[in-house]
Each structure stands twice: as structure tokens, then as C-alpha cells.
Amino acid sequence: MKEFKLENEPKIVSGFKTPEHYFDNFSAKVFDKINEEEKEVKVIPFYRRKKTFTWLAAAMVVSALIIPIVNNYNATSNELDETTLENYLSYQSNLNQYDLIQTLDTKDIQELNNNVALENETLEDILSSNPNIERLITE
């Protein structure tokens, strides 16, 4: 078979043709398309702004819904600190007096002293009316 050499051959043209007058109205087509795209581009900011409003409204609804929840949460947690905790400790836990005493430090004891600044008379009353006085003393 004869070896094919590109440079020995007459120039091979691509053979691609265009429809007649194709280039005559090509620029008009391009200008139309550019105008079309520009219209679309103008629509985008409006659409985006609309979207921003939607997001803004959604955010406001969510925060409005959250406010009572947050308030409630704070209120309940305060109550937990006080009475609920006390009740729980005295009635439902396995903690006894010794356990509680163990956790006290000197500062706590001082505070307790201040709180229980009982007058002598009251103290006597309590002691005399308490049938378990001996047990209390030995403890």
C-alpha cells in the first residue's frame, strides 16, 4: 500500500460549509440573544430580593416562636434550683445527714450559723419540747 504523506498530498480542505447568507443575519441573532440574557439578568436581583424578604419573614417567625420557649426554660430552671431540689433531696434521694455534712466546708458552716442565729429562749423551747433530745445530744 502506498504510504500516505500529508505534505505530498494536495491540501485537504475541511469541507465544512454554511447555509447561504448564514453570516448576513448572524449578528442580529447574537444581539437578540444578548438582549434576552440581559432581561433575565434584570429579573434575578428582583427575585433575590423577594427571597431575602422570605428569609427575613421566616427568621422573624422562628425568633417569635423561640422567645416564650426561652422564657419558660429560664423560669422552670430557677424553680428547680430552689424548692424542687430541696424536696428531691429530702424525700427522694438516698442522701442522709452525714452525706450532706461531708460536703460542707467551713464557709458553708459559717453561713449556716448566721442563718440559724437562734435566740436562747427559742433554743430552750425546742430542746425541752423535743422528745429525742438525748439522741440529738449524743449525735
| Contacting residues toward other proteins, per CB under 8 A | 1-6, 9, 12-19, 22-23, 26-27, 29-31, 33-34, 37
Grid coordinates 442563718 are at which residue?
A: 115
Q: What is the closest distance, in whole angstroms, from the C-beta atom of residue 9 to other proteins in the complex?
A: 8
- In the complex with other proteins, which residue's Cβ is closer, 38 or 124? 38
Residue with cell 430557677: 78
**60 phi and psi angles, rounded to 5 deg:** -65, -45
Cβ of residue 6: shortest distance to other proteins, in angstroms?
A: 5
For the bound state, the minimum distance from the C-beta of residue 45 to other proteins, rounded and expressed in Å, comes to 16
The DSSP call for residue 41 is H
Q: Would you say 1 or 67 has its CB closer to other proteins?
A: 1
Nearer to other proteins, 45 or 68 (CB): 45
How far apart CA 95 and CA 85 sit, in angstroms, is: 13
Taking the complex as a whole, how short is the minimal distance between the CB of residue 48 and other proteins, in angstroms? Answer: 18
Q: DSSP states of 96-114 as a string?
A: -HHHHHHH--HHHHHHHHH
Nearer to other proteins, 5 or 107 (CB): 5
Query: For residue 64, what is its C-alpha cell?
Result: 417569635
Quick check: 122 and 128 in contact, CB under 8 A? no
